[in-house]
Chain A
Amino acid sequence: MAASGTLLVLFLFAHAAGNLKIFVGLPDFDHYAEWLRELGTPLLPHAWFLWIQRFGLLAAIGLHIWAATVLTIRAKKARPVKYAHRPKVQGSYAARTMRWGGVIIVLFVIWHILDLTLGVVNPATGDSDASQRVVQGFDPERWYVTLFYVLAVVAVGFHLRHGIWSAVRTMGQQTTKGERRAKAIALVLSVVLVAMYLSVPIAVTFGLVK
């Protein structure tokens, strides 16, 4: 969980930073999208590096989901009879929503790829540029899409708030002072990431990026 999760967090930050390029200008954003495909050339053929990244990402996602599934099955087996009085959440809310939160994020990522990578559920025409898919996808008229993105990104934030700290603990963090520090860092990183992601769709929906 910790190792594959760490890779995913690194991707999330790189991706969020890349998205911000849209504030520089639409052609610059498309230039960035093109650069993603140029990366690694001429050592590798066009777009190969991107595909290597995609496979790496898929492997990390696969491992992450596999480990989560094993833990969930073990948890179900370890408590065959449920409590009649539903136990109240005393630890952290974020920790208790990791499983459903994870499922929601996967569904979001599928939609998101159909939307902005493949353009299947995006109003922009077939061979549009990435910037056009973003601008038309988050058009003020399509506010419900933006709302869905906002909810999904907040779910990612909750997931990371527990996930980042939990990964640090799994790797052996063991002092009470370090625990407070790790929790604070996880919170700050999650909030920053959520803000970075939300800025783009919200800016487009409110007409700040056209």
Chain B
Amino acid sequence: MDIKVRVWRQSGPSAGGKMVAYDVKGISPDASFLEMIDVLNETLILDGDDPIAFDHDCREGICGACSMVINGVAHGPEKATTTCQLHMRKFKDGDVIDVEPWRAAAFPVIKDLIVDRSAFDQIIQAGGYISAPTGTAPDAHATPVPKKDADLAFEAATCIGCGACVAACPNGSSMLFTAAKISHLGLMPQGQPERDSRVIDMLQAQDDAGFGGCTNAGECTMVCPKGIPLSLIGRLNSDYRKAITKR
């Protein structure tokens, strides 16, 4: 396959950036999107150019590092798929593909396609934990959990913190991420003691980090590689209402 990619190039956090076009020739349709960039980077290095900086780690769809917006869609055209699991056969010979970093004030660009996602860590630090006594691990069946709750908690816990929801949101809001985190803890008996403070503190941290406000636009869940459902945002709203009325 011969394609053309237009990639956002930015040499550093405070440098200006622009879209730069590159021709990529002879790419296997079975290559992943990241492998295509690897191939492109090899030619860039041979030409003495700066290779395109992009985030990646597991390359098997579980770490959430491979953030890039492909033709206006976070992680590209394939539903419920990270960029590393996206294959070139989803594109056509001769396609022009635009590749950009996540765009959010809370996720500043470090270089090219790499953004700083530590704003998510700040949200987690504000309340995305439970206080558990240390010591030997308790028996797994010591605390009964209804199957329905366990399933939903597990679904919420599959969030890999990739940030695609923020990248896609027209408001630049991280509500789906925060909702996933408060849900997977709040559905468990172990998550009850901090349930009220968790939702209040995590929302505050989210606002402080410069994310926008949620208007239930629903773009987030469409691009989420783990299919985190929008309904969890309703759960967050309900938890929040209960928490502030108790205060």
CB proximity of B241 to chain A, nearest CB, Å = 6
* B172 touching A91, Cβ below 8 Å: no
* B215 touching A98, Cβ below 8 Å: yes
* B98 touching A173, Cβ below 8 Å: no
* B210 touching A173, Cβ below 8 Å: no
* A174 touching B235, Cβ below 8 Å: yes
Q: Which residues of the partner chain A approach B230 to less than 8 Å between Cβ atoms?
A: 169, 179
Q: Which residues of the partner chain A approach B103 to less than 8 Å between Cβ atoms?
A: 79, 81-83
CB proximity of A97 to chain B, nearest CB, Å = 11
What string of 1s and 0s marks CB contacts (under 8 Å) between A151-179 and chain B?
00000000000100110011111111011
CB proximity of A171 to chain B, nearest CB, Å = 7
Our pick among A78, A88, A90 for the contact of B212 (Cβ within 8 Å) is A78
| Chain B interface residue bracket vs A | 35 or more
Binds A, one of B37-45, B86-94, B134-142, B218-226: B218-226
Known: A74-B212, A173-B234. A90 touches B171 (CB 8 A): no
Cα A170 to Cα B215 in complex, Å, equals: 9
Binds A, one of B56-64, B69-77, B188-196: B69-77
What string of 1s and 0s marks CB contacts (under 8 Å) between A47-81 and chain B?
00000000000000000000000110011011111
Known: A75-B213, A91-B219. A174 touches B231 (CB 8 A): yes
* A71 touching B212, Cβ below 8 Å: yes
Cα A81 to Cα B237 in complex, Å, equals: 29
CB nearest neighbor in A for B173: A78
User: Is chain A's binding surface mostly helix, strand, loop or mixed?
Assistant: loop
Q: Which residues of the partner chain B approach A95 to less than 8 Å between Cβ atoms?
A: 215-218
Known: A71-B171, A174-B231. A78 touches B210 (CB 8 A): yes
Within 8 Å of chain B (Cβ to Cβ): is A126?
A: no
* A85 touching B105, Cβ below 8 Å: no
What string of 1s and 0s marks CB contacts (under 8 Å) between A80-120 and chain B?
11111111111110011010000000000000000000000
Q: List 5 A-B contacts (CB under 8 A).
A: A74-B212, A75-B172, A87-B73, A91-B222, A173-B231
Residues of A participating in the B interface, judged by any CB pair closer than 8 Å? 1, 70-71, 74-75, 77-92, 95-96, 98, 162, 165-166, 169-176, 178-179
